[in-house]
Amino acid sequence: MPIIKDTWGKTVDGRNVQRFILKNDNQIEIHVISFGGIITHMFLPDKFRHTADVNLGFDTIEGYLTQKPYFGALVGRYANRIKNGRFTLDGKEYSVTLNRERFSLHGGNEGFDKKIWDAEVKDNKVVLTYVSADGEEGYPGELTTTVTYELTEDNKLILEYTATTTKPTVLNLTNHAYFNLAGHDAGTLKDHMIQINVDQYLPGDSDTIPLGTIADVTGTALDLTEETDLGERIPQVPGGFGFDLNYCAGDPGKLKYVARVAHPPSGRTMKMYTTEPGVQFYTGCNLRGVIGKDGTEYKRFASICLEAQHYPNSPNQDNFPSTVLLPGEVYKQTTIYEFGIDAN
């Protein structure tokens, strides 16, 4: 179906924010805005043909201008954490914005989630482009990033990323959508089932920065290789904070099935595929009193994130898949969310 384009408010400096509405013939509707490449709404049908918005977020642009949870946003230049905001590249040490006490998170104070992206519709895709200046947030090289959103008639949301640089740099891109298949206002992950088709993860420190080792999930509460009741499993995770860790999917550049989420009462399902070597699985432990759409108070464990990405702090870990991008190279990523209905 044709993509609808309109204006969805303005930034504080008066720039228009464009909205794009993608629909297919199966009652799926997804809204994307040019500010941060944010997915603001995601309407999915259930087994009774009733639709609900399963994507946490805000009603208006004002909420996203100051948002902290990165609802639905494109995250960069470097998704997740860089310890102490420092890394060495070609013998030179770089310091990037330290927006947390002991690490740089999601690109710094004004990462890609806070930028207006150039946006157009092309071949029934929303095409977003942003040029990040050399030195922005401390990162070297002028980086040109393009991300496309496509909704297919077989119920797949396809995100494709490319990027090029003028200088050697590090890069890690993802989308930070928060899902609750019962509806964004359900308030809990009760009755959600999950399977993550990965048997290794990255142990981390108190800031969830990887220690540099790779561990097996077997015999731990982190083992989600079989379908698991998420509501029952979250309290079993050590520390009481639920899940906020990177699972090691391996095979960088190869598209592979990584995860499946299901909500049996509604019948909604979602599968995830990605070319990235990792997926950060997060159950919203830091959501506390955020007021979102329809006046809903989003609380801890009200949603999940499945963020396709490279491993956190990779620039400081030689044994992790490299996040270095060189001039003349093209960064590429494909991540797919496939939606379905289980009528049983």
The residues carrying an active-site annotation are: 176, 307
Q: Locate 17 and state its tokens.
A: 């924010």
Residue 180, annotated as binding a ligand:
no
- Decide: 332 and 253 in contact? Cβ < 8 Å: yes
The helix/strand/coil state of 236 is helix
- Decide: 259 and 271 in contact? Cβ < 8 Å: yes
Residue 50, annotated as binding a ligand:
no
Residue 130, annotated as binding a ligand:
no
- Decide: 157 and 126 in contact? Cβ < 8 Å: no
Phi, psi of 326 (to 5 degrees): -110, 155
Verify cis geometry, omega within 30 degrees of 0, for the bond prior to 77: yes
Query: What is the rounded distance in angstroms from the CA atom of residue 76 to the CA atom of residue 107?
Result: 5
Residue 260, annotated as binding a ligand:
no
Residue 59, annotated as binding a ligand:
no
- Decide: 94 and 43 in contact? Cβ < 8 Å: no
Q: ∠295-99-187 over CA atoms, to 5°?
A: 25
Residue 244, annotated as binding a ligand:
yes
- Binding site listing for beta-D-galactose: 80-81, 176-178, 244
- Binding site listing: 80-81, 176-178, 244
